[in-house]
Structure 1
Amino acid sequence: MPSVSETQGILNGADLLFDEAACQQALDKMAEEITEVLGNEYPLILSVMGGAVVFTGQLLPRLLFPLDFDYVHVSRYGDKLAGGEFNWSRAPQEAVENRSVLILDDILDEGHTMAAIKDKVMQLGAKSCHCAVFTNKLIDKPKPMQADFVGLDLPNRYVFGFGMDVRGAWRNLPAIYALK
Protein backbone atom coordinates (compact mmCIF):
# COMPACT_ATOMS: atom_id res chain seq x y z
CA MET A 1 0.00 0.00 0.00
CA PRO A 2 1.47 3.38 -0.95
CA SER A 3 1.78 6.08 1.69
CA VAL A 4 -0.50 9.10 1.93
CA SER A 5 2.29 11.33 0.61
CA GLU A 6 2.91 8.98 -2.34
CA THR A 7 -0.77 8.92 -3.29
CA GLN A 8 -1.04 12.69 -2.90
CA GLY A 9 1.99 13.03 -5.18
CA ILE A 10 0.26 10.86 -7.80
CA LEU A 11 -2.81 13.12 -7.73
CA ASN A 12 -0.78 16.33 -7.72
CA GLY A 13 1.17 15.17 -10.78
CA ALA A 14 -1.84 13.94 -12.76
CA ASP A 15 -3.80 15.59 -15.57
CA LEU A 16 -7.48 16.35 -14.92
CA LEU A 17 -9.45 14.87 -17.84
CA PHE A 18 -13.06 15.36 -16.66
CA ASP A 19 -14.10 17.48 -13.68
CA GLU A 20 -16.97 16.68 -11.34
CA ALA A 21 -19.51 18.70 -13.37
CA ALA A 22 -18.64 16.81 -16.58
CA CYS A 23 -19.00 13.48 -14.74
CA GLN A 24 -22.42 14.47 -13.38
CA GLN A 25 -23.60 15.59 -16.84
CA ALA A 26 -22.49 12.25 -18.28
CA LEU A 27 -24.48 10.41 -15.60
CA ASP A 28 -27.61 12.43 -16.38
CA LYS A 29 -27.29 11.69 -20.10
CA MET A 30 -26.74 7.99 -19.47
CA ALA A 31 -29.75 7.78 -17.14
CA GLU A 32 -31.98 9.29 -19.84
CA GLU A 33 -30.69 6.87 -22.49
CA ILE A 34 -31.02 3.82 -20.22
CA THR A 35 -34.52 4.84 -19.16
CA GLU A 36 -35.59 5.16 -22.78
CA VAL A 37 -34.43 1.61 -23.56
CA LEU A 38 -35.08 -0.26 -20.30
CA GLY A 39 -37.61 1.85 -18.38
CA ASN A 40 -40.49 -0.53 -19.13
CA GLU A 41 -38.53 -3.78 -18.67
CA TYR A 42 -38.09 -4.10 -14.86
CA PRO A 43 -34.45 -5.05 -15.51
CA LEU A 44 -31.89 -6.77 -13.34
CA ILE A 45 -28.94 -4.43 -12.84
CA LEU A 46 -25.58 -6.16 -12.34
CA SER A 47 -22.78 -3.99 -11.05
CA VAL A 48 -19.20 -5.15 -11.58
CA MET A 49 -17.32 -4.84 -8.31
CA GLY A 50 -15.23 -3.09 -7.20
CA GLY A 51 -14.63 -0.39 -9.84
CA ALA A 52 -18.28 0.19 -10.68
CA VAL A 53 -19.32 1.02 -7.12
CA VAL A 54 -19.02 4.82 -7.54
CA PHE A 55 -20.72 4.78 -10.96
CA THR A 56 -23.47 2.44 -9.76
CA GLY A 57 -24.10 4.42 -6.59
CA GLN A 58 -24.60 7.62 -8.54
CA LEU A 59 -26.48 6.16 -11.52
CA LEU A 60 -29.13 4.10 -9.70
CA PRO A 61 -30.91 7.08 -8.05
CA ARG A 62 -31.26 8.59 -11.53
CA LEU A 63 -33.06 5.50 -12.89
CA LEU A 64 -36.66 6.26 -11.95
CA PHE A 65 -38.18 2.90 -12.85
CA PRO A 66 -38.48 -0.42 -11.00
CA LEU A 67 -35.39 -2.62 -11.10
CA ASP A 68 -33.66 -5.43 -9.25
CA PHE A 69 -30.04 -5.16 -8.21
CA ASP A 70 -27.19 -7.63 -7.86
CA TYR A 71 -23.47 -7.62 -8.45
CA VAL A 72 -20.74 -9.75 -9.92
CA HIS A 73 -17.06 -9.79 -9.14
CA VAL A 74 -14.75 -10.85 -11.93
CA SER A 75 -11.31 -9.56 -12.72
CA ARG A 76 -8.44 -10.03 -15.12
CA TYR A 77 -6.11 -7.65 -13.36
CA GLY A 78 -5.90 -8.12 -9.61
CA ASP A 79 -2.87 -6.08 -8.58
CA LYS A 80 -1.32 -6.18 -12.05
CA LEU A 81 -1.47 -3.54 -14.76
CA ALA A 82 -1.96 -6.09 -17.58
CA GLY A 83 -4.83 -8.53 -17.97
CA GLY A 84 -4.52 -12.22 -17.17
CA GLU A 85 -6.94 -15.10 -16.60
CA PHE A 86 -10.51 -14.38 -15.45
CA ASN A 87 -11.09 -14.70 -11.73
CA TRP A 88 -14.81 -15.08 -10.88
CA SER A 89 -15.22 -14.21 -7.20
CA ARG A 90 -19.03 -13.92 -7.46
CA ALA A 91 -21.51 -14.82 -10.18
CA PRO A 92 -25.04 -13.32 -10.21
CA GLN A 93 -27.15 -14.53 -7.28
CA GLU A 94 -30.45 -13.14 -8.58
CA ALA A 95 -32.32 -15.18 -11.18
CA VAL A 96 -31.16 -14.08 -14.64
CA GLU A 97 -33.33 -16.38 -16.76
CA ASN A 98 -35.85 -14.54 -18.97
CA ARG A 99 -34.73 -11.17 -17.57
CA SER A 100 -33.53 -8.02 -19.26
CA VAL A 101 -30.10 -7.44 -17.72
CA LEU A 102 -28.01 -4.28 -17.58
CA ILE A 103 -24.35 -4.69 -16.64
CA LEU A 104 -22.66 -1.62 -15.14
CA ASP A 105 -18.89 -1.13 -15.09
CA ASP A 106 -16.51 1.75 -14.58
CA ILE A 107 -14.45 1.36 -17.76
CA LEU A 108 -14.43 -0.55 -21.02
CA ASP A 109 -10.72 -0.93 -21.66
CA GLU A 110 -9.95 -3.83 -24.01
CA GLY A 111 -13.46 -5.24 -23.44
CA HIS A 112 -12.56 -8.82 -22.56
CA THR A 113 -13.97 -8.78 -19.03
CA MET A 114 -17.27 -7.20 -20.07
CA ALA A 115 -17.58 -9.64 -22.99
CA ALA A 116 -17.07 -12.57 -20.60
CA ILE A 117 -19.69 -11.23 -18.18
CA LYS A 118 -22.18 -10.67 -20.99
CA ASP A 119 -21.55 -14.20 -22.31
CA LYS A 120 -22.12 -15.63 -18.81
CA VAL A 121 -25.38 -13.68 -18.41
CA MET A 122 -26.67 -14.94 -21.76
CA GLN A 123 -25.62 -18.52 -20.89
CA LEU A 124 -27.71 -18.17 -17.72
CA GLY A 125 -30.76 -17.52 -19.93
CA ALA A 126 -31.20 -13.76 -19.93
CA LYS A 127 -33.78 -12.43 -22.38
CA SER A 128 -31.46 -9.55 -23.25
CA CYS A 129 -28.23 -8.08 -21.97
CA HIS A 130 -27.16 -4.45 -22.27
CA CYS A 131 -23.88 -2.97 -21.05
CA ALA A 132 -23.29 0.49 -19.62
CA VAL A 133 -19.84 1.81 -18.84
CA PHE A 134 -19.04 5.14 -17.31
CA THR A 135 -15.90 5.41 -19.40
CA ASN A 136 -14.76 3.91 -22.69
CA LYS A 137 -11.03 3.92 -23.37
CA LEU A 138 -10.21 4.70 -26.99
CA ILE A 139 -7.56 2.13 -27.90
CA ASP A 140 -5.85 1.28 -31.18
CA LYS A 141 -7.14 -2.29 -31.49
CA PRO A 142 -10.57 -3.82 -31.95
CA LYS A 143 -12.60 -4.74 -28.87
CA PRO A 144 -14.65 -7.96 -28.65
CA MET A 145 -17.71 -5.83 -27.85
CA GLN A 146 -18.92 -2.25 -27.53
CA ALA A 147 -21.01 -0.88 -24.66
CA ASP A 148 -24.63 0.06 -25.33
CA PHE A 149 -24.38 3.12 -23.07
CA VAL A 150 -21.21 5.18 -22.56
CA GLY A 151 -20.72 8.17 -20.30
CA LEU A 152 -17.32 9.49 -21.39
CA ASP A 153 -14.67 8.51 -23.93
CA LEU A 154 -11.11 8.50 -22.62
CA PRO A 155 -7.73 8.70 -24.30
CA ASN A 156 -5.52 5.60 -24.12
CA ARG A 157 -3.84 6.55 -20.84
CA TYR A 158 -3.78 5.17 -17.31
CA VAL A 159 -6.78 6.83 -15.65
CA PHE A 160 -8.12 6.98 -12.11
CA GLY A 161 -10.93 8.52 -10.09
CA PHE A 162 -14.68 7.97 -10.19
CA GLY A 163 -14.26 4.30 -9.19
CA MET A 164 -11.00 3.62 -11.04
CA ASP A 165 -7.90 3.27 -8.91
CA VAL A 166 -4.20 3.89 -9.21
CA ARG A 167 -2.15 1.55 -7.00
CA GLY A 168 -5.33 0.91 -4.98
CA ALA A 169 -6.01 4.58 -4.25
CA TRP A 170 -8.24 7.41 -5.47
CA ARG A 171 -11.38 5.46 -6.47
CA ASN A 172 -13.26 8.01 -4.36
CA LEU A 173 -12.45 11.07 -6.47
CA PRO A 174 -15.48 12.79 -8.08
CA ALA A 175 -13.48 13.50 -11.26
CA ILE A 176 -11.27 11.57 -13.69
CA TYR A 177 -7.50 12.03 -13.89
CA ALA A 178 -4.72 10.50 -16.00
CA LEU A 179 -1.13 9.79 -15.10
CA LYS A 180 1.36 11.92 -17.00
Structure 2
Amino acid sequence: MDIVKIKDKTFRTFIPESEILSKVKAVAEKLNKDMAGKNPLFLAVLNGSFIFAADLMRYLTIPSEISFVKLASYQGTTSVGKVKELIGINQELKGRTVVIVEDIVDTGNTMKQMLATLESYEPESLHICTLLVKPGKLQVPLNIEYPAMEIPNDFIVGYGLDYDQQGRNLRDIYTVVE
Protein backbone atom coordinates (compact mmCIF):
# COMPACT_ATOMS: atom_id res chain seq x y z
CA MET A 1 0.00 0.00 0.00
CA ASP A 2 1.53 3.27 -1.09
CA ILE A 3 -1.39 5.42 0.13
CA VAL A 4 -3.64 4.79 3.13
CA LYS A 5 -6.53 6.80 4.51
CA ILE A 6 -7.08 6.91 8.27
CA LYS A 7 -10.05 8.88 9.47
CA ASP A 8 -9.71 12.35 7.89
CA LYS A 9 -6.05 12.08 6.81
CA THR A 10 -4.20 10.54 3.89
CA PHE A 11 -0.76 9.00 4.37
CA ARG A 12 1.91 7.78 1.94
CA THR A 13 4.66 5.22 2.50
CA PHE A 14 7.66 6.86 4.15
CA ILE A 15 9.81 3.99 5.51
CA PRO A 16 9.20 0.44 4.22
CA GLU A 17 9.17 -2.47 6.65
CA SER A 18 12.41 -3.94 5.24
CA GLU A 19 14.29 -0.71 6.06
CA ILE A 20 12.71 -0.52 9.52
CA LEU A 21 13.77 -4.09 10.34
CA SER A 22 17.31 -3.43 9.08
CA LYS A 23 17.60 -0.44 11.43
CA VAL A 24 16.08 -2.37 14.35
CA LYS A 25 18.61 -5.17 13.80
CA ALA A 26 21.48 -2.64 13.78
CA VAL A 27 20.30 -1.13 17.10
CA ALA A 28 19.97 -4.63 18.60
CA GLU A 29 23.53 -5.47 17.54
CA LYS A 30 24.80 -2.33 19.29
CA LEU A 31 22.81 -3.22 22.41
CA ASN A 32 24.16 -6.80 22.30
CA LYS A 33 27.68 -5.41 22.30
CA ASP A 34 27.19 -2.62 24.86
CA MET A 35 25.00 -4.58 27.29
CA ALA A 36 26.91 -7.88 27.27
CA GLY A 37 27.11 -9.27 30.80
CA LYS A 38 24.57 -6.80 32.25
CA ASN A 39 21.17 -8.58 31.98
CA PRO A 40 19.37 -5.30 31.18
CA LEU A 41 15.71 -4.69 31.83
CA PHE A 42 14.00 -3.26 28.76
CA LEU A 43 11.06 -1.02 29.69
CA ALA A 44 8.86 -0.70 26.62
CA VAL A 45 6.54 2.31 26.63
CA LEU A 46 3.01 1.43 25.57
CA ASN A 47 1.18 1.70 23.33
CA GLY A 48 3.38 2.85 20.49
CA SER A 49 6.54 0.84 21.10
CA PHE A 50 5.02 -2.64 21.28
CA ILE A 51 5.91 -3.69 17.71
CA PHE A 52 9.39 -2.13 17.88
CA ALA A 53 10.00 -3.80 21.27
CA ALA A 54 8.91 -7.20 19.95
CA ASP A 55 11.17 -7.00 16.90
CA LEU A 56 14.06 -5.60 18.97
CA MET A 57 13.83 -8.44 21.50
CA ARG A 58 13.94 -11.04 18.71
CA TYR A 59 17.29 -9.62 17.55
CA LEU A 60 18.84 -9.53 21.04
CA THR A 61 21.20 -12.36 21.90
CA ILE A 62 22.13 -11.24 25.43
CA PRO A 63 20.33 -12.31 28.60
CA SER A 64 17.70 -9.64 29.20
CA GLU A 65 14.21 -9.02 30.53
CA ILE A 66 11.33 -6.93 29.24
CA SER A 67 8.46 -5.20 30.95
CA PHE A 68 5.90 -2.68 29.77
CA VAL A 69 4.92 0.71 31.15
CA LYS A 70 2.31 3.19 30.06
CA LEU A 71 2.83 6.92 29.83
CA ALA A 72 0.53 9.05 27.71
CA SER A 73 1.19 12.54 26.35
CA TYR A 74 -0.51 12.56 22.94
CA GLN A 75 -3.98 13.48 21.75
CA GLY A 76 -4.67 13.17 18.03
CA THR A 77 -1.62 14.44 16.15
CA THR A 78 0.02 16.65 18.77
CA SER A 79 1.81 16.23 22.07
CA VAL A 80 -0.28 17.82 24.80
CA GLY A 81 2.81 18.55 26.88
CA LYS A 82 1.35 17.02 30.03
CA VAL A 83 2.54 13.58 30.99
CA LYS A 84 0.25 11.25 32.83
CA GLU A 85 1.67 9.08 35.60
CA LEU A 86 3.94 6.16 34.75
CA ILE A 87 2.12 2.89 35.45
CA GLY A 88 3.15 -0.72 35.27
CA ILE A 89 6.56 -0.87 36.97
CA ASN A 90 6.44 -4.29 38.62
CA GLN A 91 10.16 -5.12 38.66
CA GLU A 92 12.80 -4.03 41.13
CA LEU A 93 14.83 -1.38 39.31
CA LYS A 94 17.33 -0.60 42.08
CA GLY A 95 20.83 -1.40 40.86
CA ARG A 96 19.58 -2.55 37.43
CA THR A 97 20.64 -1.50 33.96
CA VAL A 98 17.40 -0.17 32.46
CA VAL A 99 16.82 0.52 28.77
CA ILE A 100 13.74 2.57 27.93
CA VAL A 101 12.25 1.39 24.63
CA GLU A 102 10.22 4.14 22.97
CA ASP A 103 8.57 4.43 19.57
CA ILE A 104 9.42 8.08 18.97
CA VAL A 105 11.13 10.97 20.71
CA ASP A 106 10.08 14.34 19.36
CA THR A 107 10.07 17.22 21.89
CA GLY A 108 11.78 15.05 24.51
CA ASN A 109 9.54 16.37 27.28
CA THR A 110 7.88 13.00 27.88
CA MET A 111 11.25 11.24 28.00
CA LYS A 112 12.71 13.84 30.36
CA GLN A 113 9.85 13.33 32.81
CA MET A 114 10.09 9.56 32.49
CA LEU A 115 13.84 9.64 33.22
CA ALA A 116 13.21 11.77 36.32
CA THR A 117 10.54 9.33 37.52
CA LEU A 118 12.74 6.28 36.90
CA GLU A 119 15.71 7.86 38.70
CA SER A 120 13.69 7.66 41.93
CA TYR A 121 13.83 3.84 41.63
CA GLU A 122 17.66 4.03 41.86
CA PRO A 123 18.69 2.04 38.77
CA GLU A 124 22.39 1.51 38.13
CA SER A 125 21.96 3.20 34.76
CA LEU A 126 19.25 4.43 32.39
CA HIS A 127 19.53 4.27 28.61
CA ILE A 128 17.21 5.45 25.82
CA CYS A 129 16.45 3.25 22.82
CA THR A 130 13.98 4.69 20.33
CA LEU A 131 12.79 3.65 16.92
CA LEU A 132 12.52 7.27 15.76
CA VAL A 133 13.84 10.63 16.84
CA LYS A 134 12.95 14.06 15.47
CA PRO A 135 16.11 16.09 16.13
CA GLY A 136 14.51 19.24 14.71
CA LYS A 137 11.76 19.14 17.31
CA LEU A 138 13.81 18.32 20.44
CA GLN A 139 13.28 20.92 23.17
CA VAL A 140 15.36 19.34 25.93
CA PRO A 141 18.86 17.82 25.91
CA LEU A 142 18.72 14.02 25.96
CA ASN A 143 21.38 11.35 25.62
CA ILE A 144 19.68 9.06 23.11
CA GLU A 145 22.25 6.29 22.87
CA TYR A 146 20.22 3.89 20.73
CA PRO A 147 18.22 5.66 18.02
CA ALA A 148 17.20 3.47 15.08
CA MET A 149 16.38 6.38 12.75
CA GLU A 150 16.21 10.17 12.64
CA ILE A 151 13.28 11.66 10.77
CA PRO A 152 12.03 15.13 9.87
CA ASN A 153 9.22 16.77 11.80
CA ASP A 154 6.42 15.01 9.86
CA PHE A 155 3.39 13.35 11.39
CA ILE A 156 3.72 9.59 10.90
CA VAL A 157 1.72 6.43 11.46
CA GLY A 158 2.32 2.67 11.28
CA TYR A 159 4.59 0.07 12.87
CA GLY A 160 2.98 0.73 16.24
CA LEU A 161 2.52 4.49 15.85
CA ASP A 162 -1.04 5.72 15.62
CA TYR A 163 -3.35 8.47 14.53
CA ASP A 164 -6.16 8.61 17.10
CA GLN A 165 -5.49 4.93 17.97
CA GLN A 166 -5.72 3.84 14.31
CA GLY A 167 -2.99 2.59 11.96
CA ARG A 168 -0.73 0.85 14.50
CA ASN A 169 -1.07 -2.39 12.51
CA LEU A 170 0.50 -1.02 9.32
CA ARG A 171 3.78 -2.79 8.54
CA ASP A 172 5.44 0.27 6.97
CA ILE A 173 5.72 3.79 8.40
CA TYR A 174 3.61 6.38 6.58
CA THR A 175 3.78 10.16 6.56
CA VAL A 176 0.80 12.46 6.28
CA VAL A 177 0.06 13.97 2.88
CA GLU A 178 -0.82 17.66 3.24
Answer yes or no: same fold by TM over 0.5.
Answer: yes
The 3-state SS of whatever aligns with 2:102 is strand
CA contact (8 A) 1:47 1:104 kept: yes
Deviation of residue 86 (structure 1)?
1.4
Q: Which of the residues 32, 36, 58 maps onto 1:39?
A: 36
RMSD over aligned CA atoms reads 1.9
Find the aligned partners of 1:84 and 1:71 in 2 and give their Cα distance. Answer: 22
Q: Could you say which residue in structure 2 is the equivalent of 1:27?
A: 24
Deviation of residue 82 (structure 1)?
3.0
Q: Could you say which residue in structure 1 is the equivalent of 2:81?
A: 84
The 3-state SS of whatever aligns with 1:75 is coil
Instruction: Please identify runs of 4+ aligned residues in structure 1 that moved more than 3 A.
Output: none
Identity %: 22
CA contact (8 A) 2:107 2:137 kept: no
Greater fraction helix: 1
Q: Could you say which residue in structure 1 is the equivalent of 2:148?
A: 151
Q: Which of the residues 82, 91, 94 maps onto 1:94?
A: 91
Q: Could you say which residue in structure 1 is the equivalent of 2:12?
A: 15
Unaligned ranges ≥5, structure 2 = none
Q: Answer with 65-74 or 155-164: which moved more.
A: 65-74
Mapping of 1:51-90 within 5 angstroms? 51-79=48-76, 81-88=78-85, 90=87
Deviation of residue 81 (structure 1)?
2.1
CA contact (8 A) 1:15 1:177 kept: yes
CA contact (8 A) 2:40 2:64 kept: yes
Find the aligned partners of 1:8 and 1:79 in 2 and give their Cα distance. Answer: 11
Q: Could you say which residue in structure 2 is the equivalent of 1:113?
A: 110
Find the aligned partners of 1:152 and 1:85 in 2 and give their Cα distance. Answer: 25
| Deviation digits for residues 49-96 of structure 1 (CA, Å, limit 9, x no counterpart) | 100101001111111111122121111224562323211251411000
Find the aligned partners of 2:5 and 2:137 in 1 and give their Cα distance. Answer: 31
Find the aligned partners of 1:158 and 1:48 in 2 and give their Cα distance. Answer: 19
The 3-state SS of whatever aligns with 2:104 is strand
The 3-state SS of whatever aligns with 2:6 is helix
Q: Could you say which residue in structure 2 is the equivalent of 1:177?
A: 174
